[in-house]
Chains A and B, each alone.
Chain A
Amino acid sequence: MSARQAPTLPIRNRKSTMAQQPETRISATTPRLDVAHLAKTYGSGEKSHTVIEDLTFTVDAGEVVCIVGPSGVGKTTLLKCLAGLHPASSGRASIDGRTISGPPPEMALVFQDYNRSLMPWLTVRKNLILPLRHLKLPAAELKERCDSALAAVGLSHADNQYPWQLSGGMQQRVAIARALAYRPEILIMDEPFASVDAQTRFDLEDLCLKIRKDFNMTILVVTHDIDEAVYLADRVVVLGSRPARVLKVVDVDLPAPRDQITTRSLPDFARQRTEVLSLIKRPA
């Protein structure tokens, strides 16, 4: 309770971010995203349920960090705290030193329940446009952003269809495209590739690495797939025990650029996935 910060810290204007505020520019020493002793308890009194006990980790600008951990450990809860949807019960999460107290303007979140996060009354393209309306972009840029986001997830042909006309995997890609069109500086995804086929999954993983490179995006991904975590990440945060704690942050030192075939066949890849796997398998 006590840790709820003052509700309105000044929020940066998206457009003036880079130019006008040199003092908040990300230096090598300030992490982009800083999670410090974060705790989350649902409910209060007798029915309270502590999901997250004490989480500390950081994500640097331009980094890809994966979060792995058993089902129900509190990964989605953590992401919702980072996205400013739930207040932290104690500790804090901050972006460039500013405590997160509501949805930050530079962040987009791809929800785990993709089929419940798309508007069924809007076509695919209009779903992409909805979050962009208040940015008041010129029509040409709006179109360009939607076109390229849809092309990136391989759904250019589906822009006039409704989400419920698409397969689960396609809906998930629409949700990803919506986040891409928003052009966030920080992209957070909750098991984004869970229901797509293996080939699409590889493509989307590589897309993720590509947008990090092209837009210098900072990316945080929750996944169940340990191979995927090691392949994508610069660092893997392994969560475990109940309530959730950070078991270990594993630095992944695989060479860039990563490649689905060569990277995955490196001995280092096998070593690191074994390290993560043994952390997860370890009895809590």
Chain B
Amino acid sequence: MRNVKIRNWVIGAGTPVLLLAAWWFLSANSTDPFFPPLQTILVRFQELWLFEHFQSDVLLSLGNLFVGFAIAAVAGIGLGFATALLPPVRWMIDPLIHFLRGIPPVALVPIFISLIGFGTQMRVTSIALAALFPTMIATVDGIRSVSNDLMDVARVYRLSRKERVLNVLLPAAMPQIFSGLQVSLQVAFIVMIASEMLGSSQGIGAMTLLAQQSFMTADMWAGILLLGVIGFLVNILFSLLKRKVLSWYIGSRRMARAA
């Protein structure tokens, strides 16, 4: 058990290190303007992102991502509950859900990109809008699949409506809500980058595209590298949160598999 864990860890951390090492040595003497040596990229990475543009661009991008995703999460869960529990809202939103369900969330990104105007506010809005739907749909599905038995218990013991929503439906639907949030997070990340590439002169996406357009390939690679690192870290944070909130679910699943 422990050995397997350690092995997985070594593979998980070792593979990227190996790839980076390969990149480092293979590109070391590169004169190809499109593939500068990794060393050059890293120097630029450090110069660009860690100092010069940290506040103006990196923090800006991360702030947009975080605010947009947070709005999407809260609104998505709220709208999901309203759709599942309030008939008038259900009649309005159900057709939309049926329409969206067949489309992979990423395919919706172009719609929101075309909606993007200029300025931070519009960017956050488009991130939030695009990321809202996966969470909302997952919430509706999650609530609808809560077992009747649990709701019968809630009724027999005369839980209030608020208790039924917050203490029964919400936790029972949480595993599905979290898979929705995971997709929302990916969508938010993509829209964040895309929105900066299209409608902005600030942010990591804008910097990266600008570098590409002005043939500063080392800067471009540094931007892509940074996006990779951020995506990786954000996902780790999300997994930690999920593991904490859903520990009961993960535990019960493991138990069921072992039985």
Interface window among B27-35, B117-125, B156-164 = B156-164
With both chains docked as a complex, state the minimum distance between the C-beta of B127 and any C-beta of chain A, in angstroms: 30
Residues 90-121 of A at the B interface (beta carbon under 8 Å):
102-103, 105, 107-109, 111, 113, 116-117, 119-121
Residues of A within 8 A of B152 (CB): 80, 85, 111, 117
Contact B252 A134 (CB under 8 A): no
Interface window among B60-68, B165-173, B201-209 = B165-173
By secondary structure, the A interface counts as loop
Residues of A within 8 A of B167 (CB): 130, 133
Judge whether A165 is part of the interface by a CB distance below 8 angstroms: yes
Partner of B248, one of A117, A121, A133: A121
Jot down 10 A-B pairs with beta carbons below 8 A, ordered by A. A85-B152, A102-B155, A111-B153, A117-B153, A119-B150, A120-B248, A120-B249, A121-B249, A130-B167, A134-B158
Judge whether A131 is part of the interface by a CB distance below 8 angstroms: yes
Judge whether B213 is part of the interface by a CB distance below 8 angstroms: no
Contact A108 B248 (CB under 8 A): no
Judge whether A59 is part of the interface by a CB distance below 8 angstroms: no
Residues 119-158 of A at the B interface (beta carbon under 8 Å):
119-121, 130-131, 133-134
Q: Scan B43-57; emit 1 where CB is below 8 A from any A CB, else 0.
A: 000000000000000
With both chains docked as a complex, state the minimum distance between the C-beta of A132 and any C-beta of chain B, in angstroms: 9
Within the assembled complex, what's the spacing in Å between the Cα atoms of A108 and B168? 18
Given contacts A116-B147, A119-B150, A120-B248, contact A107 B163 (CB under 8 A): no
New A-B contacts (15) at CB < 8 Å, excluding given A119-B168, A121-B171, A134-B159: A80-B152, A83-B156, A85-B152, A103-B155, A103-B157, A108-B156, A116-B150, A117-B152, A119-B172, A121-B174, A131-B157, A133-B163, A162-B252, A164-B256, A182-B157
Residues 142-198 of B at the A interface (beta carbon under 8 Å):
147, 149-150, 152-153, 155-160, 163, 167-168, 171-172, 174
Q: Scan B236-253; emit 1 where CB is below 8 A from any A CB, else 0.
A: 000000000000110110
Partner of B156, one of A85, A113, A120, A121: A85
Partner of A109, one of B156, B160, B174, B248: B156
Within the assembled complex, what's the spacing in Å between the Cα atoms of A50 and B95? 36
Q: Chain B interface (Cβ within 8 Å of chain A)? A: 147, 149-150, 152-153, 155-160, 163, 167-168, 171-172, 174, 248-249, 251-252, 255-256
Residues 160-215 of A at the B interface (beta carbon under 8 Å):
162, 164-165, 182
With both chains docked as a complex, state the minimum distance between the C-beta of B173 and any C-beta of chain A, in angstroms: 11
Contact A116 B252 (CB under 8 A): no
With both chains docked as a complex, state the minimum distance between the C-beta of B161 and any C-beta of chain A, in angstroms: 11
Within the assembled complex, what's the spacing in Å between the Cα atoms of A182 and B248? 25
Given contacts A108-B157, A131-B157, contact A116 B251 (CB under 8 A): no
With both chains docked as a complex, state the minimum distance between the C-beta of B170 and any C-beta of chain A, in angstroms: 10
Partner of A162, one of B156, B171, B251: B251
Contact B251 A164 (CB under 8 A): yes
Within the assembled complex, what's the spacing in Å between the Cα atoms of A103 and B159? 10
Contact A116 B174 (CB under 8 A): no
Residues of B within 8 A of A117 (CB): 149-150, 152-153
Given contacts A130-B159, A131-B157, A133-B163, contact A120 B149 (CB under 8 A): no
With both chains docked as a complex, state the minimum distance between the C-beta of A11 and any C-beta of chain B, in angstroms: 9
Residues of B within 8 A of A116 (CB): 147, 149-150
Residues of A within 8 A of B171 (CB): 119, 121
Which of B152, B156, B160, B249 has the largest count of A CB atoms less than 10 A from its CB? B156
Within the assembled complex, what's the spacing in Å between the Cα atoms of A133 and B172? 19
Residues of A within 8 A of B159 (CB): 130-131, 133-134
Contact A134 B160 (CB under 8 A): yes
